[in-house]
Amino acid sequence: MRDADTPHVQRTPAGWRLPGIANLHSHAFQRAMAGLAEVQTDPADSFWTWRETMYRMAARFDPGLLRAVATQLYVEMLEAGYTTVCEFHYLHHAPDGAAYAPATAMADALIAAAHDTGIRLTLLPVLYMAGGFDGRALGARQRRFGHAVDGYLQLFEDLHARQGEHLRVGCALHSLRAVPAEAMQAVLAALPADARVHIHIAEQVAEVDECAAMRGARPVAWLLDHAPVDARWTLVHATHLDAAEVAGIARSGATVAICPTTEANLGDGLFPLRAYLDAGGAWGIGSDSHISVSPVEELRWLEYGQRLVARRRNIAVGSATPSVGATLFDGVQASAAASTGFTSREDAVVLDAAAPVLAGATADDVLDRWVFSGNRPLVREVHVGGRRVVADGRHALHEDAARDYADAMRKLLAD
């Protein structure tokens, strides 16, 4: 019924066992502002007004605060069933743009949080150089994000040398508006052949229009024409596509990282999922700004958004199965290695078989039940690299991380 290469769920004495889930897009520091941008500041509130709140929060972080927030976030991810996270990391410098000593201090905080919690980390240091497609200099609030090409490549080299069993280091190009074409080419030419490359793209209509005006093509079309996009690439959001771009991404082998809860929260728009599935495109999910830290909610709202537009049910189904839950789950599994750089099959999530919503479940319907039947957490155990990091639904650091996170929040929110 389902692709034989896709890992199946298994009934075990501990519960329903299934492979761990990769979170393909995360900005860890934004966990601290979840729920704090829901007050109207403009009658036309959008991503661009939300960004003002984000800048204010970003300016308050130092390495210690980032480690505390990331530790809490990674505990939450593991308890929800994520076993790998791609961290799109751009808080490189002090708020005034001065370099930390060492220059990797903020990245070190993320690596430490991942190590402490046991989650697999694909760290993606971000190249961020310009304030817009016109190449204008970074604004005062963006200076802590910025690098020249040489400085960025040194940062990448320093981090890449530390790769290990639970750490991969790739490259993130923030966006076409923040990375001039020449700089993009220089960085891509210098990367190791196996380095993963992630990029924000086509998230906002304004971004699409500005790219067309400044570069003579829509963002995804321009990227496909000017970069060696292949299976090593992950295009984050890619929300606003025309038919040729849908087909082009699918042909390239790149993965699209869809972040339904964040895209809904920001009013971004809906990814053209059915057309992309029909084209054979690879995709995964990310929690991005972490207004939700749940693969169930990402997958549920990925499907529900499509239903609201199409005004019919059961949109994300594949040729091998009529099950929406199985199709969605198979999709995130199929793209994980290409996006994250990890190929381990030792990561697993165990669902509570005794939960009422799973009463009478079978291997054919347990994924549909997990995704679409209620909000009670069903994750009982999580294993990463063969090590159990969540037992009875709780991570070993659950209480300690929450305490440190509360302390960090008091500091971040202090006047």
Hey, which residues are catalytic here?
A: 237, 288
| H or E segment and range at residue 64 | helix 63-80
Give Cα separations from 58 to 20, 27, 301 (angstroms).
30, 11, 28
Tokens linked to 176: 């076409």
Count Cβ atoms below 10 Å from residue 330 Cβ, excluding itself.
21
SS3 labels along 319-372: CCECCHHHHHHHHHHHHHHHHHCCCCCCCEEEECCCCHHHCCCCCCCHHHHHHH
- The whole-angstrom separation of Cα 269 and Cα 302 is 11
What one-letter code names the amino acid at 34? A
- The whole-angstrom separation of Cα 347 and Cα 314 is 29
Q: What is the dihedral of CA 220, 222, 223, 228, to 10 degrees?
A: 130
> Locate tokens 């084209």: which residue?
279
Tokens linked to 223: 């990227």
DSSP label of 164: B
- The whole-angstrom separation of Cα 338 and Cα 232 is 6
> Locate tokens 């020249």: which residue?
148
Tokens linked to 358: 């799973």
> What are residue 139's phi and psi, to 5 degrees?
-75, 170
What one-letter code names the amino acid at 69? V
Helix (H, G, I), strand (E, B) or coil at 146: coil
- The whole-angstrom separation of Cα 78 and Cα 294 is 10
| H or E segment and range at residue 188 | helix 181-190
- The whole-angstrom separation of Cα 320 and Cα 230 is 25
Tokens linked to 157: 């080299």
| H or E segment and range at residue 411 | helix 398-413
Q: Which of 74, 72, 65, 108 is nearest to 89 (CA)?
A: 108
